[in-house]
């Protein structure tokens, strides 16, 4: 892990961030980075539940769950008999998830996205939002998500999108290089999913964010 990678990770582990993440930090950042589209930010959880096609009884994994805002929405969708598991490597984020987003059908586990403590094909759906751009080896996390997802299961990813505007690209590269955050090309996730045999691949762009969903082979 480089010094820049460490900076982004340390921010996520700062105990001052977890209490303000869900209601201040994330909405503000999402609103500004996603083209000031408030309607989209408000519908993000419902749209993700729909993209994952969650149904009662499903087992769903939320990778890098932070304080559990999506995990709780997933737990509601798979109730009364399913389970939503959120994994993260920030103890303050997990502590916040267990209080602010507790749910009888949600479990929060300290685990590394790149080395997940689950057997193959364990989940009906896997989600990873706003984290691949700060994980030093995002493709190791991607492979783990594919491994734990059952055949026919759904995956949903939200991450960064490198700008297509050539006059902004150098400034974006400089800013993301300084911060340690990675920008992904528009085709990177869709190509990786297609190569891994996924079908029904969909993609949406909102500002500098990209949303990708697909069905496992």
- Interacting residue ranges for ligand SAM, rule: CB under 6 A: 9, 12, 26, 64-66, 69-70, 87-90, 93, 112-114, 129-131, 134-135
Nearer to ligand SAM, 122 or 170 (CB): 122
Q: How near is the Cβ of 26 to ligand SAM at its closest, in Å?
A: 5
Strand order of the sheet with strand 59-63?
A: 106-110, 83-88, 59-63, 123-129, 149-160, 209-215, 199-206
Q: Of the two residues 23 and 199, which places its CB atom closer to ligand SAM in the complex?
A: 23
Minimum Å distance from CB 149 to ligand SAM? 16
Query: Residue 80 or 115: which CB sits closer to ligand SAM?
Result: 115
Residue with tokens 């769903």: 60
- CB-based closest residue to ligand SAM: 66
Nearest approach in angstroms of CB 96 to ligand SAM is 9
Identify any residues that bridge with 159 across adjacent strands, giving them in sequence order.
Answer: 210
Q: φ, ψ for residue 144 (rounded to 5)?
A: -65, -40
Between 28 and 199, name the residue whose CB sits nearer to ligand SAM. Answer: 28
How far apart are CB 151 and ligand SAM at their closest, in Å?
Answer: 24
Choose between 86 and 153: whose C-beta lies nearer to ligand SAM.
86
State the minimum distance, in angstroms, from the CB of residue 170 to ligand SAM.
25
């Amino acid at each position: 892990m480089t010094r820049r990678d460490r900076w982004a990770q340390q921010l996520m582990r700062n105990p001052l961030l977890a209490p303000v993440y869900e209601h201040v930090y994330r909405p503000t950042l999402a609103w500004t980075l996603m083209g000031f589209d408030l309607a989209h930010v408000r519908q993000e959880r419902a749209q993700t539940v729909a993209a994952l096609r969650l149904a009662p009884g499903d087992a769903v994994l939320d990778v890098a769950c932070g304080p559990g805002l999506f995990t709780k929405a997933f737990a509601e969708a798979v109730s009364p008999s399913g389970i939503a598991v959120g994994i993260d490597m920030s103890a303050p984020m997990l502590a916040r998830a267990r209080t602010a987003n507790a749910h009888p059908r949600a479990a929060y586990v300290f685990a590394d996205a790149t080395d997940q403590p689950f057997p193959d094909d364990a989940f009906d759906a896997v989600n990873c939002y706003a984290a691949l751009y700060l994980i030093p080896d995002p493709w190791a996390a991607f492979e783990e998500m594919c491994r734990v997802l059952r055949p026919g299961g759904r995956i949903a990813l939200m991450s960064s999108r490198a700008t297509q505007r050539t006059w902004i690209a150098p400034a974006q590269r400089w800013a993301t290089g300084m911060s340690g955050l990675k920008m992904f090309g528009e085709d990177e996730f869709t190509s990786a999913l297609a190569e891994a045999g996924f079908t029904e691949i969909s993609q949406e762009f909102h500002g500098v964010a990209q949303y990708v969903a697909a069905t496992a082979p």
